[in-house]
Amino acid sequence: MSRSALGLAGSLGTTLQRELQLAFSSPGRIVNPLMFFVIAVSMFPLGGRMSAEVLGTIAAGVIWVTALLAVMLSMESLFRSDFDDGSLEQLLLSPQPLYFHLQVKVLAHWLVTGLPLVVISPLLGLLLHLPEAGYGPLMLGLLLGTPALSMIAAIGTALTVGLARSGLLLAVLVLPLSIPVLVFGAGLVDTALNGLPLTGVVAVLAALLVLAGTLAPLAIGAALRISVH
């Protein structure tokens, strides 16, 4: 491995370590999206008189939509502290490839905010009376889909990082782009419950993840340059 490649790997490792340390130093960044996810999903069985059969039918859609909202809630802090202390501008001026640093930043953010949503999803599926055959596809779909949602949401966050109140604008930017992931993510569970092969839907979700992971950092970088300058 060349010296430049080793230097890039070391720099990316430092970025990952820094992002994880920042996240764990502010537990609210981890707890708030998770608590929102749990409370919002819990409102469905507690707030209505739907039967267990009806809840099981809508469980996948409810969990996926709520996961998207939780991801958007957590994304507000992705670039905010870097923008406030000026380190974001230094990152944009760094000779290191911005593309890979942005991938690592979003990955670190997903590890502390998106991955817990995946882990806790079976409990919420149980709360919503999701049939047993849907638990594995639900977790697999979220494991593939939530990183893609994080990449998509990061584009909107980068565009609005310089705005004081960006919640509504972020939703307008992110929600339309997230629809394919939601459709195929919820569809994976429905496919499993209908006893159909999962390979095609899993392949589509994986392709969406690869597409988001490949193209989103380019859009995020361009959006950050617009916001900072």
Q: What is the structure's pLDDT at 99?
A: 87
Element (H, E) at 120: helix 98-127
Q: Tally Cβ neighbours within 10 Å of residue 199.
A: 9
Q: Is the pLDDT of residue 47 over 70?
A: no
pLDDT tens-digit series, residues 54-106: 888 889 999 999 999 998 888 877 877 777 777 777 777 777 788 888 898 89
Burial 188-198 (b: 16+ CB within 10 A, else e): bbebbbeeeeb
- Could you give the CA distance from residue 144 to residue 207 in angstroms, rounded to a whole number? 9
Residue with the larger pLDDT of the pair 97 and 129: 129
Q: Using an 8 Å Cβ cutoff, are 64 and 138 in contact?
A: no
Q: Could you give the percent of the chain with pLDDT greater than 70?
A: 91
Q: Is the pLDDT of residue 1 over 60?
A: no
Among candidates 71, 69, 80, 82, which has minimal Cα distance to 15?
A: 82
Section 12-32 average pLDDT: 80
